[in-house]
A = this chain, B = another copy of it.
């Protein structure tokens, strides 16, 4: 039967993170793998009331087919929140998707022919790599430092490579490195995208989870030509299980996303969209996010303190000012994939950094998630990892 698969299907392979997640879902393991938000911060009580209210007041529409674009009050609310953050938008600019992962998949479908090139940060988000790869593209990694992509490397690639379609970036608290782009790099990225006529995909799942400092304007806020596709999600600020994200793009682009959504799955869950809209209407969502921020900041600090105490000095790490992840670089001789097996034996999991380089063979990095474990477990897990790294 395999002979009947499309060429594309050959490029669709198992995601290491999901496989690892399976491995580490056993009871008792301290998992710094995955990118799971803390379930104890999900709004259970509010949702209990809201789900009944949605059925009572909007029942027929909550359970029926509904427009592909999404539930209008939710689209409007998202646009309003974006506008407050310097990204002017109306509800008409928003398409509700099943998480921002679906926005990534649609982006691949809309822009990538076989052999087309995606420019991405090195390293970059594994889910995006897999989504784009399923459309038979090629990745060129752009050198990245503490301020974002290195612009000279980006321009070099834009100048010399044919068939570049997309520049994919996560400017805030990047997955996996936790790094945040400087204002200047964001502006320069936009200038180069205009100059070379490329699409910028700005993926911003973590932007609202800032633990210190001032928010930096989004790349989209500098977009004067409608070439930024902005992806947002409620997975980290509300909950991931309801699968609600969005695409914000200029009309000519968004229209294509809406058509793709229509043939992909018709629409996002009618009931969950209404529940979220009602939650946003009835609650102080910013206060809700600030509560999450307070918890995660503490966990990040706990992890940083534990690393300072337990990791050997030849191990480097980057302290993120937001998001869910902390990036660790170990000496070049150590392969973190090999180390993972020992770590799991001792009850600790993380994601080896190699997964995040679409082409590369960087073997001495690891991504640590700090949002999903309580503080005691964070300390214990880092202590165990530290011992392994000493050896």
Contacts and interface: CB of A to CB of B under 8 A. Distances in A.
Interface of A: 1-9, 12-15, 18, 22, 34, 36-37, 39-40, 42, 44, 47-48, 51-52, 55-56, 59-68, 97-99, 101-102, 105, 109-113, 116, 127, 130-131, 133-135, 165, 197-199, 225-227, 235, 239-243, 250, 252-253, 256, 259-260, 262-272
Contact of A269 (B130, B243, B253, B264): B243
A118 to B, nearest CB: 12
Given A39-B64, A241-B65, A262 B2 contact: no
Nearest first, the 8 closest Cβ-Cβ pairs linking A and B are A241-B270, A39-B60, A63-B239, A51-B51, A63-B241, A98-B265, A102-B265, A130-B263
Contact of A101 (B22, B235, B266): B266
A250 B51 CA distance: 37
A198 B59 CA distance: 43
Contact of A134 (B36, B109, B225, B266): B109
A277 B44 CA distance: 19
A195 to B, nearest CB: 14
Name which of A6, A47, A250, A256 has the most chain B CB atoms within 10 A of its CB: A6
A13 to B, nearest CB: 7
B260 A242 contact: no
A12 B63 contact: no
Contacts of A2: 252
B55 A51 contact: yes
11 contacts: A6-B135, A9-B260, A14-B262, A18-B262, A36-B65, A44-B63, A51-B51, A99-B266, A101-B266, A105-B264, A131-B263
Contacts of A12: 110, 256, 259-260, 263
A344 to B, nearest CB: 19
Contacts of A264: 101-102, 105, 131, 264
A51 B271 CA distance: 11
Contacts of A68: 18
A263 B199 contact: no
B263 A1 contact: no
Contact of A265 (B37, B60, B101, B116): B101
A374 to B, nearest CB: 14
Contact of A51 (B1, B52, B198): B52
A111 to B, nearest CB: 6
Contacts of A266: 99, 101, 127, 243
A105 B231 CA distance: 22
B265 A6 contact: no
Contact of A15 (B1, B256, B262): B262
A48 B264 CA distance: 29
A239 B67 CA distance: 15
A220 B55 CA distance: 37
Given A15-B263, A52-B52, A240-B64, A6 B110 contact: yes
Nearest to A244: B269
Contacts of A55: 44, 47-48, 51
Given A4-B197, A65-B235, A65-B240, 18 more contacts: A1-B199, A1-B253, A2-B252, A4-B198, A5-B256, A7-B113, A14-B259, A15-B262, A36-B65, A39-B60, A39-B61, A48-B51, A105-B263, A130-B263, A131-B264, A134-B263, A243-B266, A269-B269
